[in-house]
Amino acid sequence: MKPLTVVAVNAGLSEPSSTRLLVDRLAEATVAALDGREVQVQVIDLRDLAVDLGASMAAGFATGAAAPAVRSVQNADALIAATPVFNGSYSGLFKAFFDLVDVDAMTATPVLIAATGGSPRHSMVLDYALRPLFGYLRTVVVPTGVYAASEDWAASSGDTTALAERIDRAAGQLAALLGATAPSSAEQSPPAPSPSEQSRSEQSRSEQSPPEHDGTASAEAAGIANFARLLGGS
């Protein structure tokens, strides 16, 4: 089976970087959630591409070291994207990089979004900046975004447990979008019926009146169909 490729984009600028630390934690949790699958993880540090990103913006297309980095993101099976919060939004370096991505190249790619900041008040950057950006790129963003404020890393604050839970939940959702979650023994499908049993079952169903579908079931079916359409890239 072909290995899954997970590309993680780190827009952190400092060294050491809390954004890079968050990226590493998310990548490790994703690999753990993809239990039994061979996974190749590539981390792209945008600080190393700053000069080439500036030249690329001036040229209008990815040049230098930015070109293979953009191709890696466009060809990835899944993406982890993390940025520090600058002035209430993602960093300019982060935006400059994703401005070089072909708008049609990432359709239906599963994406896990994350951000770091000095205050918990900036956590809404996930929904007001990052989700619209990746929505424009037609990706499928997992429901749980991960925001880590400075206090989330402090062991004495009691928030490290909550951060770890968010990381694991988001990684599990990313793995689920990659089709890696296997049903438990209780959820596995029963053995296929024999032709005679199937015939009797179909005859029995034909003699019964069709079941009524309530609004909840219809909405759920419509949601599943829409989700499948997104994953199929249609």
Other Cβ atoms within 10 Å of 200 Cβ, number: 12
- Sketch the domain layout of the chain as residue ranges: 4-177, 195-232
Helix, strand, or coil here: 152?
A: helix
- Axis-axis angle for helices 160-177, 18-33 (nearest 10): 50
Local structure of 207: helix, strand or coil: coil
pLDDT tens string 175-234:
999 984 343 333 444 455 555 555 555 555 445 444 444 444 455 455 545 554 555 544
Please give the full DSSP string across 213-229, using - where no structure is assigned: --HHHHHHHHHHHHHHH
Instruction: Read off the pLDDT of residues 68-77 as tens digits, 9 standing for 90 and up.
Output: 999 999 999 9
Give CA–CA dist 200/156, Å, rounded: 64
Closest CA to 80 of 115, 56, 125, 50: 115
Give the fold, CATH level 3, of 4-177. Rossmann fold (3.40.50)
Q: What gap in Å lies between CA 123 and CA 4, rounded to an integer?
A: 30
Tens-digit pLDDT profile for residues 78-100: 999 999 999 889 999 999 999 99
Identify the pLDDT of residue 181.
39
Q: State how far the alpha carbon of 50 is from the alpha carbons of 7, 45, 96, 123, 150, in Å.
A: 18, 9, 9, 25, 25
Give phi and psi for 39, each to the nearest 5: -130, 135
Quote the pTM value: 0.75
Q: Does pLDDT of 13 surpass 60?
A: yes
